[in-house]
A = this chain, B = another copy of it.
Amino acid sequence: MKYSRQRECILNNLQSRRDHPTADMVYESVREIQPNISLGTVYRNLSLLADNGQILKISTGIGPDHFDGFIEPHNHFICKECGIVIDMDFIPNENIVKKASENFEGIIESYELQFFGKCKDCLKNNN
**A residues engaging B (CB < 8 A)?**
57, 59-61, 65, 75, 77, 79-80, 86, 88-90, 92-94, 96-97, 99-100, 102-120, 122-123
* Residues from chain B with Cβ under 8 Å of A104 in the complex: 77, 88, 90
* Residues from chain B with Cβ under 8 Å of A96 in the complex: 90, 92, 113
Do A100 and B90 contact each other (CB < 8 Å), given the known contacts A59-B61, A114-B112, A115-B111? yes
Stoichiometry, as copies per complex, reads 2
* Residues from chain B with Cβ under 8 Å of A102 in the complex: 90
Contact in complex: A94, B97 (CB < 8 Å) = no
Contact in complex: A111, B111 (CB < 8 Å) = no
Q: How far is the CB of A120 from chain B (nearest CB, A)?
A: 4
